[in-house]
Amino acid sequence: MGMRSVLGGDNFITSRLDDAIGWARKYSIFQYPFVTACCGMEYMALAGPQYDLDRFGAALPRFTPRQADVLFVVGTISQKIAPIMRRVYDQMCEPKWVVAFGVCTCTGGFYNNYSTVQGIDTIVPVDVYIPGCPPRPETVLQGLMLLQEKIQKQKQEY
């Protein structure tokens, strides 16, 4: 039984494997929420039906790093919790991405002191920064779409 008889003629579909895998990964984001502070309320508001994270393929958070591929760091990171966040990041399987959610996560915010990490990019590599105190859900959706674009365009490893 040849290809012709299965497809009914000379019709066939071609695609680059990288494009197909990138498309599948971009719509199957399993996030690990590392929530430490007040931005957590805005993160929870995003999970409601008004913003519909299902359409982005990112609605179900995972609470174990081995099942997640995106680390959402939400809120202030102190020097004391930073090694724990790094351990969570190290336990995630490849490919993995990191989103810095809120100004305290991105730069330390107004906590310019010895006990607060002045940007999580000093501990883990960050793929998308979502600024704001707290960031509006629309801003978070824009950051999620930027992450999806980055996932789609990168070289896929399989």
Contact 151, 97 (CB under 8 A): yes
Whether the pLDDT of residue 101 is over 80: the answer is yes
Instruction: Report the pLDDT averaged over residues 47-57.
Output: 83
Whether the pLDDT of residue 3 is over 50: the answer is no
CA distances from 78 to 98, 110, 112 (A): 17, 13, 11
Q: With pLDDT > 70 as the criterion, what percentage of the chain qualifies? A: 89
Whether the pLDDT of residue 51 is over 70: the answer is yes
Residue keyed to tokens 């990138």: 22
Domains of the chain: 29-148 (3.40.50.12280)
What's the pLDDT band for 42 if we cut at 50, 70, 90?
confident
pLDDT score of 1? 45
What's the pLDDT band for 15 if we cut at 50, 70, 90?
low
pLDDT score of 115? 93
The kind and range of the H/E element at 88 are helix 82-91
The kind and range of the H/E element at 28 are none
d(CA 48, CA 90): 30
Q: What is the mean pLDDT of the chain?
A: 86
d(CA 80, CA 137): 28
pLDDT digits 0-9 by tens, 128-149: 999 999 899 899 999 999 999 9
The phi and psi torsions of 124 (rounded to 5 degrees) equal -130, 155
pLDDT score of 5? 45
- Contacts of residue 108, defined as CB under 8 A and 6 or more positions apart, other chains included, come to 76, 116, 117, 118, 119
Whether the pLDDT of residue 2 is over 70: the answer is no
Contact 11, 4 (CB under 8 A): no
pLDDT score of 63? 87
